[in-house]
Chains A and B, each alone.
Chain A
Amino acid sequence: MKFGLFYEISVPRPWTPEKERTVYNNCLEQVKLADELGFEHVWAVEHHFLEEYSHCSAPELFLTACAMVTRNMQVGHGIVVCVPEFNHPIKIAEKTATLDILSGGRLHVGTGRSATWTELGGFRANPDITKKSWDEFVRCLPKMWMQETFSYQGEFWSMPERTILPKPYQKPHPPMWVAVTSPGTEIDAADRGLGSLGLSFAGFEEQEKKIKEYRRRIQMCEPVGAFVNEQVATTNFLFCHEDNATGVEMGKRLGNTFNYLATQLISTREVYSSPSYQSLGLLPALRRAATGPDANEQQTEGMAYGDPARIIRAVKKWESLGVDCINFILNANEVVPQDQVMASLRLFAREVMPHFAKKPANVDALGAGAPKAQAAE
């Protein structure tokens, strides 16, 4: 089991001049500590116009900063929106290769197509064709990275022969992933040999089904890249505290805040009737989690908050289902004070990670009392 961080970069109103800067700085401070503690990934989303929920519209810049303040953590561009109105494929190839160089070969590239009308409408993108354009983009990217020269004539974009530069530091190219929210996207990932970057918080049963199907299908895949990236990552909230009740209470607050903000997004399906968006993605589950008298009960299954013992149980369950990596959301709208986020990371690294992690954490970064837990068998 590997552990990572997952950033939407949520900024609460009012947006005073210092607010966004403070949130970004908090995130970088967390990333720097997480690197010292032995977390292995930091992922950052690409979202546009999503007020409060995500102010992370230029993740490649944030991730470059992350790479500069870390030594070991891999940086995950997750996800790059593979829709022409958002990102030209040449620019994606160039920017990701540059980030891979600057990070010393620590880049992972997540791909996706956007799920909200707020974003698709904002770029005047046609929701009907985003799955198709995503498919074209993910087929082209590895070739653009690997081939000395590249030319292309497709349905959604084309280019005459040119040399796309720079080339990624990693050879043959960085690992590729796809964001999995809508039902069936795990099959899209498997069939293309891509990692499954789970962005939903569904319960164990649903995730287990998805993972089994992914593992089965990927054995027969035609990879879009030079290698198969068979990995399943999932997303979770993290708040670790010595006192279980305190940890659960703050964790629920974090989860409820994130979910409530997420449910304010206008999913594409809500306003634009299209066969390309049959599902509301993760929103129905978040709505159930964010409202109603049963909200708290539903939300706690498998959530990584509470005391270390509780979190260990949750993570072991995810591990038993075949999850390779859990990426943690640490905050939403800054409801968790920064010092508590940092303390939670330290406690998690000291008490939980040794039960799973292969890489020992930096003892200095663990803080007082380290190390306490036994190493994993």
Chain B
Amino acid sequence: MPLYGTLDITQDSKHLPTLANLDTEAWALPKAETMQLLVEVPRRSTDGLLPKAMHPALPSYVILAVTRYPESPVGPFNLAVLRLGSRAGAHPRGFLLGAIASTDAAAMELRARWGIPVEQGEVKFVRRHDRIMGTVKKDGRTILDCALINPQPVAGTDVQYINWVTAANAPIDGQTQPMLIQVDPKYTFYKAERGTPHVATFDGKAWNAGSIELADPIVATCCTVDTDLPRIRFVMDPIKPVFQGTRRIRESRADE
């Protein structure tokens, strides 16, 4: 059967975000501009980064995303995230390794509500006609400098975004414990572009992924979307295969 991740998050869960409950309300995030770069990485460089419950993607790849959220319940903010391509059972997922938000309020809320491993830093999203650029600084040091080169229009239907999985401590069955949380934003597309991904600077350690080496670029997209961060619907045992360890927290998004 398929390979599994090797990371046991229960062994060192103190550094994980902690959620007060699994009942966070959804955030509407209209007119967000989100740039995603997909890059293949050597399989060995992802060893130890994926929880035991999940399957690695073959070939291994990461998703670097820089997003400008002009409206949110905590005001405008930019967010950069690093996700590791993977599978939860049969479903493609991006396991969130690290994130930087441009405001303290956003960082605090994203950690506390969805378990996103986010810290505050400087995140810039810059659109030009010949390229769209994302730069991230932490403690004055550039940890990501990337771009989509030569954006060309495509249809929103050409773009597929995969859902996220975060690792966090959260209360369930009367006990706060480490678990995996599915975060599944929805998207309404207004504009979509595609281009060549280019990464000038990437500091894996700053994204909790010191071993990651970027190798073969796949593609870059930039889309303007109405999106959200929804209520939590599913959580997963971090050790068991997800088809054995998934718990449904609420029925569907219709209850939002």
The answer to whether A263 and B221 touch (CB under 8 A), given A271-B38, A275-B155, is no
A117 neighbours in B (Cβ, 8 Å): 59, 218
CA distance A189 to B53 in the complex (A): 41
Q: Are A273 and B90 in contact (CB under 8 A)?
A: no
CA distance A257 to B157 in the complex (A): 31
B87 neighbours in A (Cβ, 8 Å): 263-264
Q: Are A275 and B38 in contact (CB under 8 A)?
A: no
* CB of A289, distance to nearest CB on chain B (Å): 9
* CB of B216, distance to nearest CB on chain A (Å): 7
The answer to whether A118 and B59 touch (CB under 8 A), given A273-B159, A275-B155, is yes
Q: Are B218 and A121 in contact (CB under 8 A)?
A: yes
Does B243 interact with chain A (Cβ within 8 Å)?
A: yes
CB < 8 Å neighbour of B58 from A13, A257, A264: A264
Q: Are A273 and B91 in contact (CB under 8 A)?
A: no
B2 neighbours in A (Cβ, 8 Å): 51-52, 260-261, 264
Q: Are B162 and A270 in contact (CB under 8 A)?
A: yes
Does B219 interact with chain A (Cβ within 8 Å)?
A: yes
Does A22 interact with chain B (Cβ within 8 Å)?
A: no
Q: Are B1 and A273 in contact (CB under 8 A)?
A: no
Does A338 interact with chain B (Cβ within 8 Å)?
A: no
CA distance A273 to B194 in the complex (A): 7
Does B57 interact with chain A (Cβ within 8 Å)?
A: yes
* CB of A216, distance to nearest CB on chain B (Å): 27
- Is the interface on chain A under 10, 10 to 19, 20 to 34, or 35 or more residues? 20 to 34
Does A374 interact with chain B (Cβ within 8 Å)?
A: no
Does A223 interact with chain B (Cβ within 8 Å)?
A: no
* CB of A64, distance to nearest CB on chain B (Å): 29
> Who on chain B is nearest to A270 by CB?
B92
Does B231 interact with chain A (Cβ within 8 Å)?
A: no
Which residues between 265 and 323 of chain A lie within 8 Å of chain B, taking CB atoms?
266, 269-275, 278, 286-287, 290-291
For B, the interface residue count at a CB cutoff of 8 angstroms equals: 30
* CB of A118, distance to nearest CB on chain B (Å): 6
The answer to whether A263 and B58 touch (CB under 8 A), given A117-B218, A272-B218, is no
Q: Are B1 and A333 in contact (CB under 8 A)?
A: yes
Does B164 interact with chain A (Cβ within 8 Å)?
A: no
Task: Scan A119-130; emit 1 where CB is below 8 A from any B CB, else 0.
Answer: 001100000000
Q: Are A259 and B59 in contact (CB under 8 A)?
A: no
Task: Scan B210-247; emit 1 where CB is below 8 A from any A CB, else 0.
Answer: 00000010110100000000000000000000010000
Does A105 interact with chain B (Cβ within 8 Å)?
A: no
B218 neighbours in A (Cβ, 8 Å): 117, 121, 271-272
CB < 8 Å neighbour of A278 from B59, B92, B157, B194: B157
> Who on chain B is nearest to A127 by CB?
B219
The answer to whether A266 and B91 touch (CB under 8 A), given A52-B2, A117-B218, A275-B158, is no
Does B192 interact with chain A (Cβ within 8 Å)?
A: yes
CA distance A273 to B160 in the complex (A): 7
* CB of B1, distance to nearest CB on chain A (Å): 7
The answer to whether A118 and B92 touch (CB under 8 A), given A264-B2, A264-B87, A278-B158, is no
CB < 8 Å neighbour of A12 from B1, B57, B91, B243: B1
Does B40 interact with chain A (Cβ within 8 Å)?
A: yes
A52 neighbours in B (Cβ, 8 Å): 1-2
Does B117 interact with chain A (Cβ within 8 Å)?
A: no
CA distance A123 to B57 in the complex (A): 18
CA distance A272 to B91 in the complex (A): 17
B5 neighbours in A (Cβ, 8 Å): none
The answer to whether A272 and B58 touch (CB under 8 A), given A12-B1, A263-B87, A333-B1, is no
> Who on chain A is nearest to B218 by CB?
A271
> Who on chain B is nearest to A275 by CB?
B158
> Who on chain A is nearest to B89 by CB?
A291
Task: Scan B134-157; emit 1 where CB is below 8 A from any A CB, else 0.
Answer: 000000000000000000001101
CA distance A121 to B85 in the complex (A): 15
CA distance A131 to B154 in the complex (A): 17
B92 neighbours in A (Cβ, 8 Å): 266, 270
Does B55 interact with chain A (Cβ within 8 Å)?
A: yes
* CB of B234, distance to nearest CB on chain A (Å): 12
> Who on chain A is nearest to B223 by CB?
A273
Does B61 interact with chain A (Cβ within 8 Å)?
A: yes
Which residues between 149 and 191 of chain B lie within 8 Å of chain A, taking CB atoms?
154-155, 157-160, 162
Q: List 22 A-B contacts (CB under 8 A).
A: A49-B58, A52-B2, A117-B218, A122-B59, A259-B90, A263-B89, A264-B2, A264-B90, A266-B61, A270-B92, A271-B61, A271-B218, A271-B219, A272-B219, A273-B160, A273-B192, A275-B154, A275-B155, A287-B90, A287-B91, A291-B90, A333-B1
Sample of 16 more A-B contacts, CB < 8 Å, known A118-B58, A266-B59, A270-B160: A13-B1, A13-B3, A52-B2, A266-B58, A266-B61, A266-B85, A271-B38, A272-B38, A273-B154, A273-B192, A273-B194, A273-B219, A278-B157, A278-B158, A290-B90, A291-B89
